[in-house]
Amino acid sequence: MQVGTERQAGSELHAWRQFLARSTLWLGVLLLGSAAVCWVAANWQDMTKMQRFAGAEGLLAICALAAAWAGLRLRDRPGVRRSIPGALLALAGILLGALLALLGQTYQTGADTWELFAWWALLLLPWALAAGSQAVWLLWALVLNLAAALWLGERVFSWMMIFGGPGVPSLFMAALNLLLLLGWELAARRWRASTVFGPRILAAIAISVLVLALMFGDFILRGLGTYNGIAWVAATLGLGFYYQRGRRDLVILAMLAAGVICVSLRVVGEWLWRLEPGVWAALPLAALLMAEAVLAARWLRGLGDEASPVALPADAEPAGASAGNAVDPADSGAPVAQLAPAGVPRAEPPWYVQCLLGLSAWLATLLLLVFVAFSGFITSEGGALVAGLVLCAAGVAVLRSDAGPFWRQCGTAMAFAGQILIIFGLSSSTSFASASFFVLLMAAVVYALGPDAILRFLSGLLIALAGAALIWRGLSPDLMQDDLMDAWMRFDATRATFLWLPIGVIGAWATAVIITVSHRVGARRGHALQPLAWAFLLSVQGMVWLASGISATQLPAIWQLTPHTTILIVAGALLPAAAALAVLWPRRHVLTGGVTWGVPIGLLLLSLFWLPSPGVAFALAWLLLGFGLNQSRIMVFGVASLLAYLGVYYYQLELPLLQKALWLGGAALLLFVLRAAVWLVPRLMRTQPPAKPRVMPPVSSALRWRTLAILGGLALVLVVANGGIWQREKLLASGKVVILELAPVDPRSLMQGDYMALNFAAGREVTRLRLGGGNAAEQESVMGYEPDGYVLLAPDARGVAQPLRIQPEVHPHAEGEVPLRYRVRDNGVRIVTNAYFFPEGQAERYQVAKYGELRVAENGEALLVRMLGANLEPL
């Protein structure tokens, strides 16, 4: 379904209720799913393994059954409540992955990681078919891509040995995503599936893997580069024709244009390198880059001007709207009115064109800097400072003139390259604060004088960097022994809590103020502030990845150390409530008191849960500001930043995983309560007219099949999971006890989070035998593609198993010999598993491990049961 620029309209109050209902539901789903993943990873030993399995399977079954019930019960309800089954199935899909991870964690078989994701994708498929939800299908596509990438990654050395390079994996990944894209487009034509995000994400993956293979692999006219080049040309022409003539999607066309620019840069660059022009080759490359970007931007804008807005019928599941502008109807049959004024053509190009021009400006700047660095024109930091000032002045002068698009791109690249040179010239300054202030002032002047959105965005990034440096200087002057880049790269918990988090909070509040002010000051000034707002948004997102949250119980201790840090941390948790109040208060005359005051109060309650996870608070603030100020791109950024932060948050080790699970789970439960309040409060306060009595329509055959698919998928998941549990418990009860010695491992890399990297000594002996009896200590590679096999073991006087020989099959073997399967992975031999998972916080206990105890079945399959010390004592 092609998405238009106009939105359906109804009451603004109804639009806010729709937004709150959807956001609380989906945010609760994401946080509860993340809590389940953290709970599984914590490996909590206060619960038995059967209790953990029962809890995971029970919660998954509740979600699936609730989705089936909701689909039947709400079949006559249009609008936002139709998304409830999809949200519940998305949560069930995340819990399915957690259940499979729990199975691999409890029974440490050492199965290939790709197998977990492959089973996840297979078991999730019935629910994806039943849900018909873009979110569930995207989850399925992501899991399938991870399974394929991990499978290819474990065999990448074999691919390189056989085919002479990594081109085949890129072809495979591109073909997979193109097939998924074809299926999505067919579903869009047949069943009106949403095309807002899915096709663009799949196209981005397919295009990027082909382009990267050409950029960093073989030359396009030699070896595997020929096949990758043909595939890239075919994909570019095919996708370009369809998305220009079939279903016009300018975002995908912009991706294709970016791919053409990158590949042409590689082809022309290699050709110039063969001519040996030296460093001067950077200048024609930069010119080619900017010319192609200008032509692509002109082409995309022309296609955009050709597209005429088409009035769309009322959607059964309309998109959210914004305060005071276009909003959704309360019913799919309600009359549609356009409250927002008709769109007026703007001087600024669309966002995808700006991204394309920004990419070219960034790459052209790098080429200019390469030329300046290696040409010999600048030999000192003072010379860099002077050259930077000259380039800045020249670039701004070009932008303020009546120059054409190509020269404007040149001016942008010159002005930004000049700012980088100025920063380099100030790198040896004795006063860090003065240098940072000068960079801030310089970037602000260029921002004010340079009338170009791309240059303003790049200068805004420098403003954010210089501002962070000044705040860093004010908060922690004792940490000024290192420069900013060294402190950034050498991450530790102290800086995460007392430095990066306060800087991120200040930046987030500044971003919120800039976004709000740009909406209030009028169109012209607002457009001038938009690049700064986006620069701050991206900078804050990068900063919060470094920041470490704290729990409410730690606030008194931090207050004793640094009261100002405590105030800033609390301010970060209160940012969503402040953002809600900022957008709701001006609209209080058209909203009810329940919305105007209930939303900030609910966010105040939730602020307690945002303390350990500040990135969630920031993302929620962007969602509220984007919706309330009618800026959909900020809303999309809020969703993307939330997903990215939850992935990074899992790996932040400052807060225990179990505490993360409790805080995220508590926030999810409170969000579900608020979701119920969104439905209940208007009815109790009678601010919403009572619903007209409806006659429940009969259950259609499609709905019946969807319900059966949900229930059948649940039964399949439970059968597979419990069947695996039964098989592994049987192996633990009847398998032979085998003890293997651990090979020496660097103790600094032995402990990684909550698992211990393993390398059994038997694996080195198997490598030696595979190489024909050579010295395994000197040759760790197994070289080439060889199938898996079996190593025959026999116990020594201490009962430690020693390798005797290897063979391709489990038989034959003598009475006292135990066959054990080994696998060739990552150009090495893996015995059972390469990691041992232990409960969180018990790393020191397993640092003295010398042996591993296995249970081996008759067919050579084995489970790692526990670790043993030097005297074979259990740890």
Instruction: Read off the pLDDT band of 447 (50, 70, 90).
Output: very high
Tell me: pLDDT of 509 over 90: yes
Say how many C-beta atoms besides its own lie within 10 A of residue 806's C-beta: 18
| d(C-alpha 505, C-alpha 613), whole Å | 12
Residues paired with 856 in a beta bridge: 736, 862
> Helix or strand or coil: residue 863?
strand
| d(C-alpha 170, C-alpha 122), whole Å | 23
Predicted local distance difference test score (pLDDT) of residue 496: 67
Residue 186 contacts residue 176 (beta carbons within 8 Å)? no
- Token pair in block for residue 293: 């970007």
- 841-854: per-residue pLDDT in tens? 677 777 778 888 88
Residue 264 contacts residue 292 (beta carbons within 8 Å)? yes
Q: Tokens 């329509």 map to which residue? A: 697
- 72-105: per-residue pLDDT in tens? 887 766 555 568 888 999 999 999 999 998 888 8
For residue 402, which amino acid is it? Answer: D
- Token pair in block for residue 143: 């899991």
Tell me: pLDDT of 421 over 80: yes
Residues 6+ apart with CB under 8 A from 482: 490
Give the strand order in the sheet containing 751-752. 751-752, 755-757, 835-837
Predicted local distance difference test score (pLDDT) of residue 220: 54
| d(C-alpha 813, C-alpha 791), whole Å | 10
Q: Give the CA count within 13 Å in the CB-facing half-sphere of 399.
A: 25
Residues 6+ apart with CB under 8 A from 314: 8, 329, 332, 333, 334, 336
- 160-211: per-residue pLDDT in tens? 544 445 567 888 889 999 999 999 999 888 888 888 888 999 999 999 988 8
Predicted local distance difference test score (pLDDT) of residue 459: 92
Instruction: Read off the pLDDT band of 578 (50, 70, 90).
Output: very high
> Of the given ranges (190-204, 482-496, 827-841), which has the lowest mean pLDDT?
482-496
Residues 6+ apart with CB under 8 A from 520: 526
Tell me: pLDDT of 358 over 80: yes
Chain centroid offset of residue 477 CA: 34
Tell me: pLDDT of 629 over 70: yes
- 776-798: per-residue pLDDT in tens? 444 444 444 457 788 888 888 88
DSSP 495-513: HIIIIIHHHHHHHHHHHHH
- Token pair in block for residue 828: 């090495």
Nearest to 109 by CA among 848, 654, 843, 834: 834
Mean pLDDT across the stretch 795-815? 84
For the chain, give the percent of residues with pLDDT over 70. 83
Residue 533 contacts residue 589 (beta carbons within 8 Å)? no
Predicted local distance difference test score (pLDDT) of residue 680: 77
For residue 426, which amino acid is it? Answer: L
For the chain, give the percent of residues with pLDDT over 90. 22
Tell me: pLDDT of 717 over 90: yes
Chain centroid offset of residue 438 CA: 35
Residue 583 contacts residue 629 (beta carbons within 8 Å)? yes
Mean pLDDT across the stretch 589-595? 84
Residue 71 contacts residue 706 (beta carbons within 8 Å)? yes
Phi, psi (degrees; rounded to nearest 5) at 735:
-75, 155
Tell me: pLDDT of 310 over 50: no
577-602 burial, b at 16+ Cβ within 10 Å, e below that, comes to bbbbbbbbeebeeebbebbbbbbbeb
Q: Identify whether 689 is preceded by a cis peptide bond (ω within 30 of 0).
A: no
Rg of the chain on CA atoms, in Å: 30
Residues paired with 835 in a beta bridge: 757
Quick one: CA torsion of 368, 370, 375, 377, rounded to 10 degrees? Answer: 60
Predicted local distance difference test score (pLDDT) of residue 367: 84
Predicted local distance difference test score (pLDDT) of residue 222: 55
Quick one: CA torsion of 558, 562, 567, 569, rounded to 10 degrees? Answer: -60
Domain ranges of the chain: 155-275, 355-490, 735-868
Instruction: Read off the pLDDT band of 694 (50, 70, 90).
Output: low
478-515 burial, b at 16+ Cβ within 10 Å, e below that, comes to eeeeeebeebbeeeeeebbbbbbbbbbbbbbbbbbebb
List the Cα angle 624/31/667 in 5-degree steps: 75
Chain centroid offset of residue 244 CA: 29
> Of the given ranges (8-22, 559-573, 606-620), which has the lowest mean pLDDT?
8-22
For residue 58, which amino acid is it? Answer: G
Phi, psi (degrees; rounded to nearest 5) at 699:
-70, 120
| d(C-alpha 423, C-alpha 411), whole Å | 19
Tell me: pLDDT of 451 over 70: yes
| d(C-alpha 751, C-alpha 361), whole Å | 43
Instruction: Read off the pLDDT band of 132 (50, 70, 90).
Output: confident
Tell me: pLDDT of 125 over 80: yes
Predicted local distance difference test score (pLDDT) of residue 527: 82
Residues 6+ apart with CB under 8 A from 345: none
- Token pair in block for residue 584: 């709701």
The continuous run of DSSP H or E covering 263 comes out as helix 250-275
Residue 450 contacts residue 427 (beta carbons within 8 Å)? no
- Residue 79 Ramachandran class (φ > 0 left, ψ -120 to 50 alpha, else beta): left
The continuous run of DSSP H or E covering 795 comes out as strand 789-795
List the Cα angle 62/64/68 in 5-degree steps: 115
Q: Tokens 């602000």 map to which residue? A: 444
Instruction: Read off the pLDDT band of 7 (50, 70, 90).
Output: very low
Predicted local distance difference test score (pLDDT) of residue 767: 80
H-assigned helices in 132-249: 134-154, 156-163, 167-191, 198-216, 224-241
Burial of 51: CB neighbours in 10 Å, binned 0-12, 13-18, 19+: exposed
